[in-house]
Structure 1
Amino acid sequence: MAVAVSVAVAAALLAAAGCSKTPQYAVPGDVCGVAVDPAVLEPLLLPGEKLEQSTVLSRPGAPHCFVQVDEESVLGVQGEVIPADQDPSVRREWQMPAAARIEVGDDARVSDINVVAVAACAHQGKADKFVVQVERFHPERDDARKRREALAGFMTVYFPAARKAVGCTS
Structure 2
Amino acid sequence: MIRSDPSRTTRTLLFGAGLAAILILTASCSSPSREYAVPAELCGVKIAPSVLDPVLPPGKNVGTSSTAVGENKRCRLHVDDESTLSASIEPWERNASAPDVARVALAVDPSDTPSKDRRFIYSKTGAVGRVNCPNTSSSNQFLWATVRVTHDEATVGEMRELIAAYADAVAASSECGEMLE
TM-score by length of 1: 0.78
* Structure 2 unaligned spans of 5+: 1-13
CA distance in 1, matches of 2:141, 2:132: 6
Matched residue, 1:108: 120
Question: Computing the radius of gyration over CA atoms, which structure comes out larger, 1 or 2?
Answer: 2
Runs of 4+, deviation exceeding 6 Å:
none
How many Å apart are 1:87 and its aligned residue? 5.7
How many Å apart are 1:124 and its aligned residue? 10
Mark the CA change 1:124 to 1:70 in structure 2 (over 3 Å): closer, same or farther: farther
How many Å apart are 1:154 and its aligned residue? 0.9
Matched residue, 2:51: 40
Q: Which amino acid aligns with 1:149?
A: G
Matched, 1:76 2:86: yes
How many Å apart are 1:155 and its aligned residue? 1.4
* Structure 1 unaligned spans of 5+: none
CA distance in 1, matches of 2:136, 2:38: 31
For the aligned residues, what is the CA RMSD? 3.0
Matched residue, 2:9: none
Matched residue, 1:51: 62
Contact 2:98–2:110 (CA<8 Å) still a contact in 1? no
CA distance in 2, matches of 1:52, 1:84: 33
- Which of 18, 27, 36 is matched with 1:5 structurally? 18
How many Å apart are 1:24 and its aligned residue? 1.0
Matched residue, 1:24: 35
Q: Which amino acid aligns with 1:167?
A: C
- How many equivalent residue pairs? 160
Mark the CA change 1:97 to 1:167 in structure 2 (over 3 Å): closer, same or farther: closer
Identity of aligned residues (%): 21
